[in-house]
Structure 1
Amino acid sequence: MKRADIKRRPLADTVLTALEPESVEYREPDGQGLYFRVKPDGNKSWQLRYKNAAGKWPFHGLGGYPAISGTKARELAAVARKEISNGIYPADKKAAKKAAIATANTKTFLIVAEQWFEFKQSKGLAESSLRKIRTYLDKDILPALGDKLLDDITREDCRKLQQSLEARDAHNVAEKCRSWLNQIFGWAIGCGLTDNDPASRLADIAAAAPPTKQFPHLLEPELPEFLQALRACTSRTPAKTAVWLCLWTASRPGNIREAEWAEFDLDAALWTIPGPKMKVRGRSAHVVPLPRQAVEALRSLRCITGRSRWVFPGNGAVNPFMSENTINTVIANAGFKGRLVGHGSRHTARTLLAEHEWSEDFRKEQTAHAKPGMEGVYDKAQYLPQRRVMMQWYADYLDCLADGMTPAQRANFDSRVNVVEAMK
C-alpha cells in the first residue's frame, strides 16, 4: 500500500501492515505527535515527536511494529505526553535510567549475567544459540533472579526457578536454564566475583522429563497427499517457499527462516550457511546444493523480498525474519497439523533417502549432523558433487510422487541411486 492511499487517521492495523517501504525512510502521522516510521528495509516502528526544554522537537522511539500495535503505541504516547507536561522528558528519563544502571551494584545477578552473555558472544557462539540464551534469560532467569545480589542467591531461589519451568512441562527449557545458571555462577567464581554456587546440584533434584518424541514427519506413502495439498495451499508465497525449501534441502527450519540473500549464489545453485549459524559447535560454513526447483522458486521470491537483507523478512527490528511458527502454520493450512512440522521434513528426507539406499555419508553431510568421535575430527569431506546429484534426485522424486508415480518411473529413479558417473 502506498502512502497516498491512506484515507483516515489514526492509522488502522490493516494500513500499518500493508504500508510499503520506499527508497528513503519516511514517517506517517497517526495523530497528536505520534508517527509511524517505515525504513527502506521494511522495518517499521513508532515514534513520538515532542518539544523539549530547549525548544527543540526530537523524536522518541516507542518500539517496533508489530510488537507494539497501534493501540499500544497510542497508550504509550499518551503516558509520555503526560510526563512531558510535568517536565519529565523522554531523553532525560533514558539518561537517568542509564546512569542508575551504571552506578548500580556491579554484583547483581543481572549485571553479572549480562557480562557473561557478552563473554559468550566474544567466544563466537552460534547466533542461534545466542538468541536462545537471550530469550530465556529475559523470559525466565532474569525476572526470577536479576535484582538479587550474587552472594544473596540461595539454592532455594534456584530450585524455585527450576520447579516453575517444570510446572509448565518445559523440561527441555529447565535443563538449558540449569546449564546456563551453572555457567554464569562458574564464570563469576572464575572472575573472583563470588564464591557462591547455588545452582550446582539442581540436576540432582530435577523432575524426570517425559520420553523424547520424534518430530512429526511423513513417510513416503503419505507424501503424495501432502505435496498435492501444499501445491494447492493458499498461504502467502514467502511462507510456502520456506516450506518447499525445508523439503528440497532437508535444512533446519531455523537456518531457512534466518537465510540472507547474500548467502545464495543462484547461478551456481549453492546456499552457503555461515558457520556461526550452524547448530554444531565449531563447524565451518555449510554448503547446501540447491535443486533446480529451489533455484526457480528463489528467483521468483527475490522479486518479492529481494530488497530486504532477509530472504524471508519479518516485521520490524524486533522480528527481522520469519517467525518460528510460520512454517508450521502453512503445513497446518495444508491440512497436516499434528502429522508434520518443519523440522520433521528432515526426518522425512533422511528416511526416504535411506530407504532408497543413498549413501549414509551423503545423507549425514546434507543434514549437517555432527560426526561421532575422531571421525568428526578428521573427516572433513563435504561430498558436494554427490549431494548435488542426490538432492536433485530427491526434488524430482517428490515432484513425481505429487504427479502420480508409476512403477516404471520408480524403477528408473532407483537405477540412478549412488550412480558414480552421474556425480562426476
Structure 2
Amino acid sequence: MAKIVKPLTDTKCASAKPKQNAQGKFVNSKLADGNGLYLIVRPSGTKTWQFIYGRKHHLNDKGKPTDGVITIGDYSKAGVKGVLVSLDDARGYRKCYLSQIANGIDPIDALKVEETKLNNRFDFEWIARDWHVAYAKSSGCHDSTISKSLRNFEMYVFPMIGAKLIDEITARDLSAILEHIEAKGFGEVCDKVKRRLVAVFAFAVSKGYIERSPAIHLKDTLTQKREEKHYPKLSLTRLPEFFQRLKNDTGNPLTKLYTEFALHTFARSSEMMFARWSEFDLEKGIWTIPATRTPVKDCKNSHRGAKMKKDHIVPLSRQVKSILEEVRLYSGTSNHVFPADHDLNKFISENTVNKTLTRMKYDTKTEVCLHGFRGMARGALGVSGLFDRDAMERQMSHKTDNEVEWAYTHHIDHLEERKIMMDWWSEYLELNHGQYVSPQEFRETLLQDARNGVQSFKYGKLIKLQMAMMAAS
C-alpha cells in the first residue's frame, strides 16, 4: 500500500530544522509535500524547494528511470520581506511539471530549451549544426555526403536565415531559400536542401524548441521539373562490335579485364575499384561486397563498400570466375583485385573504364560509359521476361522509393534467382561475341529447347514458370 503523504503547512515549513545524525552532525532534512515536491532543510538553515521525479526517457544501466531533480528555489513564508518561493508557489511549479510529464515532456529538457533561448543559442544556424552532429552519427552516409550537407547549408541557407530565431522562421522564408537555389539552376541541391530543412525542423520539434514545423509544407512544394540524368548505355545490338573493339584494344591487359568484369557484374565503380581478394569465394561463386572496407593509406574513399550500407552479394558466373583467374596473373600478389599498374598497394583509377571506352572510339558522354553497363544489364534482364522485378532490383542494389514496401521486403534477397540471373547475363554476353542475339531470342531458344525436351537444369524453374504462364494465357 502506497504511503500517504500529509501535505506541508507554512507553520511546518517555517519551523523545520536540519536532522542530527548518530554522530551529532547536522545533515539535510527532507520534508515531502507529495507528488514529487520536497522541502530540503540544510545544516546551514537554508530551506530549498526541489521537485524530484523519474525521467522515463533517461534510463540507468538496469533499464529504470533515473531521478530528475529540479531546484525550484529557496523557501520563505508568504508576506515576509525578501520572499523567494512560497509553499503555494512551489505547488504551482509542481503542477506545471506534472502537466509536462503527463504530456510526454521531460521538465528538465524543457528547462534546458528555455535556457538555450535565454543564452541566444536559439537561432537556426546553432540548431541546424546541432542536428548535423546527430545526422553524422546516425545517417550511415559517407563522410563526403555528410560534409556536403553542411556545406550546402553554409552556402545557401545560413546567409538567409542562420541568425533568425527558429520560432520566428516562416514557411515563406523556407520557400524563398529553395527559389533562390532553383534560380541558380541547382535542381539536385534544391531537392537535398528541401529534405534536410524538413529534417532540421523535425529535430527542433523533437527537442521542444518549437511546437510546429514550418517546413511541413515543403514536402509538397512544386519545383521546376529538371531533366533526369541518364547515363549513356550502348544498344544491345552493338554488343558484337563492343567485344571486337575490346579484343583489339591495345591497353593494359588488366584494364581490359576490369572493363569486362564491370560489364558482367554491373557493379558500381567504387564497389569494383576497391575490391579485395578476401571478399571473393570462388568455390561458392560469391562476391560479398561489405558495407564498409578497411581504408588504405593515401587512397581516398578506399573505405567505401556497398552503396546501400549493407553487405551486397554478387553471384559469380562461370565467365566471371574465368576473368578473375586471369586477373590473378596480374594482381595475385596484391590484396587488391584491381591494383594500380605502378603500385600494387594502391587501386586502379576511377576513370579506367571510361578511358578504355574512349580508346575504343566510344563517346562516354553520348554512347556508353561505365555506369551505362548497369542500364544495359537491367534492360536486357527486363526484356527477357524471365526474372522477377524485385530480384532484378535487388541485384542492382537499388532501394525502392516506396518506404513502406522497402520496410517489408528489404530482408528478402532472392539469391537463388539472382544466381541464375547472373549466369544468364554472362551467357547472353558470350552469345553476342560473334553476332547479335536479342534477349527475347535467347529466351525463345530456351523455351524451344524445353518444348523439345532438352532443358538446361540451370534455368529449369524459370522455364517451367514461363511455359505455365504461356499455357494459362
How do residues 78-227 of structure 1 correspond to structure 2 at under 5 angstroms? 112-123=127-138, 125-128=139-142, 131-138=144-151, 140-145=152-157, 148-149=162-163, 151=165, 158-159=174-175, 161-193=177-209, 199-202=215-218, 207-212=223-228, 214-227=230-243
What's the CA shift for 1:288?
A: 0.9
Tell me: CA distance 1:279–1:165, structure 2 relative to 1, closer, same or farther (3 Å): farther
Tell me: CA distance 1:260–1:146, structure 2 relative to 1, closer, same or farther (3 Å): farther
Could you give the per-residue CA deviations for residues 288-311 of structure 1, whole angstroms, max 9, x where no partner exists? 112233334445546449646685
What's the CA shift for 1:363?
A: 3.0
What's the CA shift for 1:249?
A: 1.6
Alignment partners' CA distance in 2, 1:189 and 1:364: 36
Hey, what does 1:250 align to over in structure 2? Answer: 266
Alignment partners' CA distance in 1, 2:382 and 2:374: 12
Residue 355 of structure 1 aligns with an amino acid whose one-letter code is V
Structure 1 residue runs of 5 or longer lacking an equivalent are 1-103
What's the CA shift for 1:209?
A: 1.7
Alignment partners' CA distance in 1, 2:128 and 2:418: 42
Deviates more, 1:224-233 or 1:373-382: 373-382
Tell me: CA distance 1:240–1:154, structure 2 relative to 1, closer, same or farther (3 Å): farther
Deviates more, 1:412-421 or 1:359-368: 412-421
Are 1:401 and 2:432 an aligned pair? yes
Are 1:368 and 2:397 an aligned pair? yes
RMSD: 4.6
Alignment partners' CA distance in 1, 2:169 and 2:410: 46
Could you give the per-residue CA deviations for residues 362-416 of structure 1, whole angstroms, max 9, x where no partner exists? 4344223456665972685534344334323322332332334689xx7699328
- TM-score w.r.t. structure 1 length? 0.57
- TM-score w.r.t. structure 2 length? 0.52
Residue 293 of structure 1 aligns with an amino acid whose one-letter code is Q
For 2:314, what is the secondary structure of its paired residue? strand
What's the CA shift for 1:225?
A: 1.9
What's the CA shift for 1:220?
A: 1.9
Larger Rg: 2
Tell me: CA distance 1:180–1:378, structure 2 relative to 1, closer, same or farther (3 Å): closer
Are 1:343 and 2:343 an aligned pair? no
Tell me: CA distance 1:183–1:288, structure 2 relative to 1, closer, same or farther (3 Å): same
Alignment partners' CA distance in 2, 1:167 and 1:312: 43
Could you give the per-residue CA deviations for residues 327-361 of structure 1, whole angstroms, max 9, x where no partner exists? 44443443142122333322211222333332225
Alignment partners' CA distance in 1, 2:393 and 2:285: 20
Deviates more, 1:178-187 or 1:202-211: 202-211
Alignment partners' CA distance in 1, 2:148 and 2:250: 32
What's the CA shift for 1:270?
A: 1.2
Q: 1:359 aligns with which of 381, 384, 387?
A: 387
Alignment partners' CA distance in 2, 1:310 and 1:178: 40
Alignment partners' CA distance in 2, 1:109 and 1:151: 6
Tell me: CA distance 1:273–1:394, structure 2 relative to 1, closer, same or farther (3 Å): same
Deviates more, 1:236-245 or 1:260-269: 236-245
Alignment partners' CA distance in 2, 1:126 and 1:323: 25
Hey, what does 1:377 align to over in structure 2? Answer: 408
Alignment partners' CA distance in 1, 2:340 and 2:240: 30
Residue 348 of structure 1 aligns with an amino acid whose one-letter code is M
Residue 280 of structure 2 aligns with an amino acid whose one-letter code is F
8 A contact 2:263–2:373 mirrored in 1: yes
How do residues 317-328 of structure 1 correspond to structure 2 at under 5 angstroms? 327-328=353-354
What's the CA shift for 1:285?
A: 2.9
Tell me: CA distance 1:161–1:364, structure 2 relative to 1, closer, same or farther (3 Å): same
What's the CA shift for 1:117?
A: 3.7
Alignment partners' CA distance in 2, 1:352 and 1:179: 34
What's the CA shift for 1:198?
A: 6.1
What's the CA shift for 1:221?
A: 0.7
Structure 2 residue runs of 5 or longer lacking an equivalent are 1-118, 293-304, 461-473
